Chain A
Amino acid sequence: MIGPFLFFLFAVLALVGALGMLIARNPVSSALWMVLNLFSIACLYLTLNAQFIALIQILVYAGAIMVLFLFVIMLLNLGEVPRLPAFDWRKGAAFLLGVAVLAQILYVVALGLDVVPTTTTPMEAAANGSALAIGLVLFTDYAFSLQIIAVLLLAATIGAVLLAKKRFV
């Protein structure tokens, strides 16, 4: 019965990341909170047995897009970069334990309200979310859309280079 508990754990982490992104004064802090949110959502995809999407989420979003954001924030030098205090193990452990306890409480409340049904056979769902299943559909039924996406990415690359060039506007 670890599935529902993991859901509540990562749901709380995702909400904390999103709220931190909303509240943080400094753009760098916002971006780092967003990374926490993206990782939590990737773990939620794993609880849904969508392994391929979870991996792509970490690679593309947390790996590529967020690095691009941080790069632009630091390139523009918006205000001063916050001086991060040395990481305090006790605070980190306290944060993790607090989130775990909150997830546990939510899980128990959901159990008490009898709204935590765990159904669907794992084997079926695992086959559905694998890279093989997605690839089979992606490269046959959606082959044309895939080509369009390739053209779109090329256009976006050219557009970004042109826009970022000096004396464009």
Chain B
Amino acid sequence: MELALNWYLSLSAVLFVIGVLGVLLRRNAIVIFLSIELMLNAVNLTLVAFSQSFGDVDGLVLVFFVMSVAAAEAAVGLAIVIALFRNKTTVNVNEINLFRG
């Protein structure tokens, strides 16, 4: 039993926008990372909805790859957050301006 594709795409768009808002509004680096994960999930939902709607398994394989890359990204990103916190003792992105000296 499957719903209309439109509903899944609408939900996915709303989730993506919430993720964008999180990146733009929150100043905590870890919450920004969480918002990026939310955006990746919204895109995954789109891929699965399209894939199941068209009966094509390639979309599911792409979701698998997206999840792998998201795992790698989370590991490296959190390591960067730890390194930043060790140097600056903050994760507020407004106070982290290494390139401006």
Contacts and interface: CB of A to CB of B under 8 A. Distances in A.
Interface in B42-97: 44-45, 48-49, 51-53, 55-58, 60-61, 63-65, 67-76, 78-83, 85-87, 91
B31 A30 contact: yes
Nearest to B11: A11
A141 to B, nearest CB: 8
Contacts of B75: 68, 156-157, 159-160
Interface stretch (A55-63, A81-89, A93-101): A55-63
Interface residues of A, number: 72
Instruction: Decide if the interface of chain B is mainly helix, strand, loop or mixed.
Output: helix
Interface in A18-38: 18-19, 21-22, 27, 30-31, 34, 37-38
A157 to B, nearest CB: 7
Nearest to A4: B3
Instruction: Decide if the interface of chain A is mainly helix, strand, loop or mixed.
Output: helix
B85 to A, nearest CB: 5
B3 A116 contact: yes
A134 to B, nearest CB: 5
Cβ-closest 9 pairs across A and B: A156-B72, A3-B1, A163-B79, A160-B79, A160-B75, A18-B18, A164-B79, A48-B52, A120-B2
19 contacts: A3-B2, A14-B11, A19-B18, A22-B21, A37-B15, A41-B45, A48-B52, A49-B52, A50-B60, A57-B67, A76-B81, A118-B3, A120-B52, A138-B61, A156-B71, A160-B76, A164-B79, A164-B83, A169-B83
